[in-house]
Chains A and B, each alone.
Chain A
Amino acid sequence: MYIVNYRRRAEAAFLLFCFFFFLSIARLCFIQFFRSEYLAEIAQKQHNMFIELEPRRGTVYDCNLKPLAVNLVFESVYAEPNQLSREQKERIAAQLAPLLALERSFLASRLDRDKAFVWLARKVSPEQAQQIRALKFKGIGMIKESKRCYPNDYLLSQVLGFAGLDNTGLEGLELYYDNYLKGEPGWATVLRDARSKRLDLNDTTVPAKDGYHLVLTIDEVVQYIAERELEKAYQTYHAKGASIIVIDPRTGQLLALANRPGYDLNKPGHVSKDQIRNRAICDMFEPGSVFKIVTAAAALEENKVNEMTRFFCENGEYRVANHTLHDHRPHGWLTFREVIEQSSNIGTSKVAQLLGPDKLYEYIKRFGFGAKLGIDIPGEINGSIKPPRQWSKTSIACVPMGQEVGVTALQLATALSVIANGGYLMKPYLVREVRDRQGQVIDYYPPTLVRQVLSEETAARMRKILIGVMENGTGKMGKLGQFTAGGKTGTAQKLDPNGSYSHDKYIASFMGFAPAEDPQVAIVVTVDEPHPYYFGGVVAAPVFKRVAEDVLKYLKTKEYTQQTASLK
């Protein structure tokens, strides 16, 4: 009896276990066959994390491979407001505000948002990051992000431009070459554990394609010399603005390009449009007497004059149509060479009359005025040159001496290069090479010849005349101590809002090349509204002198160092 009962119970228990066993098997089969996809998807979401891999933005180097713009890793502070209580939020806002140099109310408003994630501060300094980490706030975290940094602060500011918070180029070369510099983002799915901690057992990875590096034609040392001297002139003469261009006339490579006022590239937040503007390529102005080199070169090339052709300069007063021309000093008879040396307006207008409006216009265009030169930086303008059919009766007197025409400083620099290099118009450019991360050259930009403007003989004759300007004429203050140089001064009256020429607003300019026998650099200096002195020969020529001297010494030393290194 006892045994029978025991057996029945055992059988019942066995049946019960079997029932649950088959129930479990049935459930497993159901899950496996009908719910597997859904559950696998949920598991995948829990275990795997999709992350975007940020590419590293390319570095910008000068021609000696010194970095001008680099990317560094900074930490950004975020909060998870949903995980914070009211008291915690208040405490965090109170303690972080002085650390981040932000308003407490600003932080409080961000923490009050009903969101799972908010940024508190982007790309804070390492010291700030360390201090915040030490506070060990719950619900406050940091994410690493890269930030564009410029080791030379204000150097080359308008040319380099800057990149925004998301590493996209916003100005200058950073904008123009953004496609090369920014690279392509990648992505990866990585495992994460129960604590959401990342575990690099990658299933799939598409690596980020880092941006390419740019190698500029700019030389950091030349740029520094140019900016140092330009700053002095800008400060001394209380100018409204100033520009300087140093170009290699043989190749069209820009060695330096600077403008004033400038700005600190590391603090682009509070910068005015005036500071950002690249005046050397964006601003058009009437060039004044520096433009006489175009008239003179055209007349020589067309054999209308020679150096000894004599012109009567009307003792300083000459009437053309209803306009009276004046020279800054009365002259009688002057040879063609002296007309340029003494910068006689009357003499130059007479030269232009021999040449005729059509020929003059043709040469102005051939020198590259009135059209973009195609420099690789945004913002270049055409300038303004009217065709002869739109000229007034006085235009033949005004255009040759740089009135009624609008040019940029860059156009003046390339025009001067034509004379300095033997008559060839070279396209100006800023980027020499594009390189990948391994240093392989991806793209190389060679010098580009646009056209031949003058014969080599005419260019040589013009060079001699311009040397005379420095030796005997208006450019004496630009004369170099150890090198020979040629150049031309210019003092242009600015236009008043009523359309007449101003008597207290001038643009002082000087352009020159050196050494005269084999020009290595052509330099253009323009100073906008200098006070109290405003003559190009007084304000801009000394800048040329100091820059040319220092740059030539530096280039000679560099050449010697390179030769010595190659011998070793």
Chain B
Amino acid sequence: MRLPRFLLVCLSATALSLMYVWQQTEVFHLAYTGQKQLVKFEELLDENSSLRYNLTRKTSLTRMGTRVAANTEFRMPDNYCLVKVPLSGKEFKAANGRLPRKETLFARMFGIKRQAEARTVNTSDAFAVRIAGDLNIR
């Protein structure tokens, strides 16, 4: 009677010890797994910030400005390079699709005049002057 009880106590103690050891190994095993995940996570975070940085760098104004300046061969002509040719009536019609309507006396008296008209000639001149300034500087 005593021996079986002794054996049972021994077995229980052994089982408890094994459980404790198993628990400890599991803790360390999980710690190793967690560590690996953490390293991976940190690597991904670093990669993410590196990619973000590359994106910011590639889209930075300095870089885009340099690339545009290096790749474009277009140059706005200087004023002295421009020849203004007056258009004849036919050419004007061809260019605009229709001739300008003649303003009759009736239209002049009762017609609603346009409020504003774009003055393209002056604007383009000013623009050309500005670009010419740019070119001189280069």
Interface residues of A, Cβ cutoff 8 Å to B: 66-67, 70, 72-73, 126, 144, 149, 151-155, 191, 198-201, 220-221, 224, 227-228, 232-233, 235-236, 481, 542, 546
**Given A199-B28, A236-B138, A224 contacting B65 (CB threshold 8 A):** yes
A210 CB to nearest B CB, Å: 13
Q: A73-B46, A201-B31, A224-B65 are in contact. Are A151 and B137 (CB under 8 A)?
A: no
The 8 A-B residue pairs with the shortest CB-CB distance, nearest first, are: A224-B61, A73-B46, A151-B57, A151-B56, A232-B137, A236-B137, A152-B60, A152-B62
B31 close to A200 (CB less than 8 A):
yes
Q: Mark B69-96, 1 if CB is under 8 A from A, else 0.
A: 0000000000000000000000000000
Q: Is B126 an interface residue (CB 8 A)?
A: yes
CB distance from B138 to the nearest CB of A (A): 7
Give B78 Cβ to nearest chain A Cβ, in Å.
Answer: 15
Q: Is the CB of A70 within 8 A of B53?
A: yes
Q: Which residue of A lies closest to B136 (CB)?
A: A236
**Complex contact A72–B53 (CB within 8 A):** yes
Q: Is A198 a contact partner of B61 (Cβ separation < 8 A)?
A: no
**B14 at interface, CB cutoff 8 A:** no
In the complex, the answer to whether A151 meets B53 with C-beta atoms within 8 Å is yes
Considering the chains assembled together, what is the distance between the CA atoms of A227 and B31 in angstroms?
53
Given contacts A201-B31, A481-B130, whether A152 and B61 have CB atoms under 8 Å apart is yes
Given contacts A144-B46, A200-B34, A232-B134, 13 further A-B contacts (CB under 8 A): A67-B56, A70-B49, A72-B49, A72-B53, A149-B53, A151-B57, A152-B57, A152-B60, A220-B61, A227-B62, A232-B137, A236-B137, A546-B134
B62 touches A154 (CB 8 A): yes
Closest to B65 in A: A228
Determine whether B32 belongs to the interface, using a CB cutoff of 8 Å to chain A: yes
In the assembly, what is the distance between CA of A154 and CA of B66, in Å?
12
Interface string of B27-42 (1 = CB under 8 A from A): 1100110110010000
Q: Report A556 CB to chain B, min CB distance, Å.
A: 18
In the complex, A232→B68 CA distance in Å?
Answer: 15
Minimum C-beta distance from B120 to chain A (A) = 14
Does B50 interact with chain A (Cβ within 8 Å)?
A: yes
B61 touches A221 (CB 8 A): yes
CA distance A152 to B31 in the complex (A): 42
A123: shortest Cβ distance to chain B, in Å? 13
CB neighbours (8 Å) of B38 from chain A are: 200
A72 and B50 within 8 A (CB): yes
Q: Assuming A152-B60, A152-B62, is B53 touching A199 (CB within 8 A)?
A: no
Residues of A within 8 A of B28 (CB): 199, 201
Known contacts A126-B50, A224-B61; decide if A199 and B126 are in contact (CB<8 Å): no
C-alpha spacing A235/B38, complex, angstroms: 51
Given A200-B31, A232-B138, A481-B130, check contact A151 B60 (CB 8 Å): yes
Which of A66, A126, A151, A199 has most chain B Cβ within 10 Å?
A: A151
List chain A residues, Cβ under 8 A from B62.
152-155, 224, 227
Q: How far is the CB of A322 from chain B (nearest CB, A)?
A: 42
Which residues of B have CB within 8 Å of A126? 50
Complex: A152 Cα to B38 Cα, angstroms: 32
Q: Which residues of B contact A199 (CB under 8 A)?
A: 28, 31-32, 35
Q: Report yes or no: B126 in contact with A481, Cβ–Cβ below 8 A.
A: yes
Complex contacts, B138 vs chain A, CB 8 Å:
232, 236
List B contacts of A224 (CB < 8 A): 61-62, 65
> A233 contacts which chain B residues (CB < 8 A)?
137
> Which residues of chain B have C-beta atoms less than 8 A from A236's C-beta?
136-138
In this complex, what residue of B is CB-closest to A75?
B46
Chain B residues, Cβ within 8 Å of A151:
53, 56-57, 60
Contacts of A220 in B (CB 8 A): 61
Over the window 1-29 of chain B, the binary record of Cβ atoms lying under 8 Å from chain A Cβ atoms (1 yes, 0 no) is 00000000000000000000000000110
CA gap between A236 and B134 in the complex, in Å: 10
Cα distance A224–B65 in the bound complex, in angstroms: 9
The answer for the CA separation of A434 and B62 in the assembled complex, in Å, is: 26
Whole-angstrom distance between the alpha carbons of A153 and B67 in the complex? 14
B66 to chain A, nearest CB (A): 9
Q: List 8 interface pairs A-B (beta carbons < 8 Å), by A numbering.
A: A73-B49, A151-B53, A151-B57, A191-B31, A200-B31, A201-B28, A220-B61, A221-B61
- Residues of chain A within 8 A (CB-CB) of B137 are 232-233, 235-236, 542
| Interchain CA distance A542-B134 in the complex, whole Å | 9
With CB as the reference atom, state the residue of chain B lying closest to A227.
B62
